[in-house]
Homo-oligomer: A and B are copies of this chain.
Amino acid sequence: MTVDEFLTEKAKKTERALAEHVEAWHDAPDILRDAVRYSLFAGGKRLRPALALGAAEIISGDDAVALPAACAIEMIHTYSLIHDDLPAMDNDDLRRGKPTLHKVHGEAIAILAGDALLTMAFDVLSQAKDLRVIQEVARAAGVGGMVGGQVLDLQSERKAISLDQLRHLHACKTGALIRVSVRCGALLAEANEEQFEALTRFGEHLGLAFQIADDILDVTGEEDLLGKPIGSDEAKQKSTYPALVGLDRARQLADEAANSAAEALSPFGPEADDFRALARFVVERHH
């Protein structure tokens, strides 16, 4: 199976389940469902669900047990993009080539659609019937994870920060949710301690590789593929890997992180080949 086939298979399962969840919101105002659907089905790569499902599959050969967690984490990721794009935050007009939600439905509905996705993610997550997973996801998305990282990101605009600070910022803002995706899949498939630790390290290195690659794409990518303007980090005076260490060194760091991710999988055999390929994919992708 190629990486594309792997991602497509996991994305299909996730999107079918996500559509069913939103379909079941019979008591939601129509505009809220429309707004949530607009952002939730905007063509994301579904990397986080693929990690949750893939981790469960590596451990138990079956990914079904991780599907609620995969959906919940994608809902949380989507809420974070909606709120990040708001005028008071990054003020972005485009996301994946489409107008951002607040451009379509206004700021109030965008704020509430984000709130709705975050809230309902925990309804979906409760279906996984595992309290550890709820706590893991809340903490990864919370003040010491994604939300905390977003605050650090705001605070570091127009400011010189060190490479260590940038690494910490990214570990919170994007790393925590990527890491927890893998951990939830492993937990739900009842990984043993060694497997759980190995997959956690894989998730940490993969998250770093993904973020450095993201920073590089913002400099070198093609707008058509990215679905947003090139150079937006620079325009917002955000600290990035290329800005801090130069493009060549950034590429080297991304490669190193991808290699470390693959190495973390050494306790596993061919069942982890999709994850090995994924580690290459995140640094070689074009969008």
Contacts and interface: CB of A to CB of B under 8 A. Distances in A.
Interface of A: 25-29, 31-33, 36, 79, 83, 86, 88-89, 106-109, 111-112, 114-116, 118-120, 122-123, 125-126, 129, 131, 134-135, 137-139, 141-144, 147-148, 150-152, 154-155
Q: Which secondary structure characterizes the binding site on chain A?
A: helix
A150 B112 contact: yes
A154 B107 CA distance: 12
A126 B138 CA distance: 9
A111 B147 CA distance: 10
B88 A107 contact: yes
A151 B89 contact: no
Contact of A115 (B25, B83, B125, B131): B83
Contacts of A106: 88
A164 to B, nearest CB: 15
Q: Work out how many copies of this chain go into the complex.
A: 2
26 contacts: A27-B148, A29-B143, A29-B148, A32-B148, A32-B151, A36-B143, A79-B115, A88-B106, A89-B108, A89-B111, A111-B111, A112-B154, A114-B115, A115-B115, A115-B118, A115-B147, A116-B143, A118-B119, A119-B141, A122-B137, A122-B138, A123-B138, A123-B142, A125-B134, A126-B135, A129-B131
Given A27-B148, A147-B32, A148-B27, A126 B134 contact: yes
A225 B279 CA distance: 59
A21 B142 CA distance: 13
Contact of A116 (B29, B112, B134, B142): B142
A31 B119 contact: no
B144 A28 contact: yes
Given A86-B111, A139-B123, A116 B33 contact: no
